[in-house]
Amino acid sequence: MKTDLYEKLVDLYAGRELPAELEDQMELAASSDPALGREMSSLRRTVDAIKAVDEPEFTEESYQRILMKVYARGVDMQPQAPAPAHFQYHLPLMG
Is 60 part of any domain?
yes
The parent domain of residue 44 ranges over 1-77
Is 91 part of any domain?
no
pLDDT tens by residue, 55-84: 888 898 998 899 899 999 998 877 776 666
Query: How many domains does the chain divide into?
Result: 1
**The whole model's pTM is what?**
0.57
Which amino acid, residue 39?
E
Is 28 part of any domain?
yes
Comparing 10 with 80, the larger pLDDT belongs to 10
Is 6 part of any domain?
yes
The rounded distance, in Å, linking the Cα atoms of 67 and 51 is 27
Is 16 part of any domain?
yes
pLDDT tens by residue, 27-48: 999 999 999 999 999 999 999 9
Handedness of CA 17, 23, 27, 30 (dihedral sign): negative
